[in-house]
Amino acid sequence: MENDRFSSAQWFEQMARVTANIGNAGFAAALFEALGCIWPIQATTLYLYPRDGMPSALFELDGPWLPQGNVRQYLSGFYLLDPFYGACVEGAASGCYDLADVAPDHFEHSEYYQSFYRHSHLEDELNYIHQAGNGLSLAVSLAFTQKLDATTTQQFKRITPWVLAVLGKHFVGLDAQGARFESLLEQRIHSALNNFGSSLLTERECRIAQLILRGHSTRSLAERLGVSEDTIKSHRKHIYSKLDIGTQSELFSLFIDSLAEAQGVLSKDPLESYMSKNR
């Protein structure tokens, strides 16, 4: 490990501490402490992402400069637009990903970035994603207040096999643990979130609306869906017309506001209940 901040001896000692804590309550803290030897990490979170349920933060340690309740706010619904969450539930291979690997082309112009991400005062993020099977993903989220240079990013990526190995050993019983994190109510709420707009939009329009919210440009949408840019523009026009809005910002506000109705809607489009009360 070539880094002026710590010696190989220090790194091996940290690795030994992580290994010794496999199966113990101190595992996550030891892992994050070891990773912090490579570069200072300002916010660390270990997420459990069920493909058919609501996510949980299994471990979190935020810096004092971050807004209080940042992770809680993220789990209230913003996670749906997070490119790292999208990569997990869409089946990205286990590995180490930086923000550039997963973010759409217009990420910094997306409403998710403008309304949530930038307020965390973070400039870069890196996730170790472990696909644990049975529809469950683990994400070790490392957040930084400055952009990582290419050398530092590669140092984090170089140790990916070791990180995934210790995660796999520690969470060997994750199938059973995951079942305890998901109640029937949570599954039904998550279904409602995934059905946003389905009472008014076609299946293709729902998919496009979700991708717009995540920050994909017209070109990116066209490439992802295998259609022309004119087709995407036409779909966008129809979506905005059906929802009685005119901008991406209004689409985002409608999305976030309707989530507040999700617990009362459960198995159907939360937008249907929201619009009946507010329009």
20-34 pLDDT, tens digit each: 999 888 899 999 999
Number of domains in the chain: 2
Check residue 65 and give its pLDDT: 41
* Residue finishing a domain among 171, 202, 222: 171
Check residue 4 and give its pLDDT: 53
Domain span at 196? 182-273
- Backbone region of residue 254 per phi and psi (left: phi > 0; alpha: psi in -120 to 50; beta: other values): alpha
Residues 188 and 112 both lie in one domain: no
pLDDT by residue, tens only, the chain of 279 residues: 545 555 677 888 999 999 999 988 889 999 999 999 999 998 889 999 987 677 888 887 755 445 445 787 788 778 888 899 989 988 899 999 999 899 888 788 777 788 788 777 778 999 999 998 888 899 999 999 889 999 999 999 999 999 999 999 998 866 534 444 444 445 555 566 677 788 889 999 988 988 887 778 888 889 889 999 999 999 999 999 999 998 888 888 888 777 766 554 455 777 777 777 766
In a domain, 115, yes or no: yes
Residues 41 and 152 both lie in one domain: yes
Residues 162 and 235 both lie in one domain: no
Residues 227 and 192 both lie in one domain: yes
Residues 47 and 127 both lie in one domain: yes
Residues 218 and 261 both lie in one domain: yes
Residues 86 and 221 both lie in one domain: no
Check residue 180 and give its pLDDT: 43
Residues 164 and 216 both lie in one domain: no
| 91-96 LR contacts (CB < 8 Å, sep 24+) | 91/131, 92/129, 92/131, 93/129, 93/131, 94/129, 94/130, 94/131, 94/164, 95/128, 95/129, 95/160, 95/164, 96/126, 96/127, 96/128, 96/129, 96/156, 96/157, 96/160, 96/163
Contacts of 226 (CB under 8 A, 6+ apart): none
Residues 89 and 48 both lie in one domain: yes
| 203-210 LR contacts (CB < 8 Å, sep 24+) | 204/235, 205/235, 205/238, 205/239, 205/242, 208/232, 208/235, 208/236, 208/239, 209/239, 209/251, 210/80
* Residue finishing a domain among 171, 190, 210: 171
* Residue finishing a domain among 171, 192, 210: 171
Angle at 17 between CA 11 and CA 21, to 5 degrees: 145
Check residue 79 and give its pLDDT: 86
Check residue 181 and give its pLDDT: 42
Residues 142 and 218 both lie in one domain: no
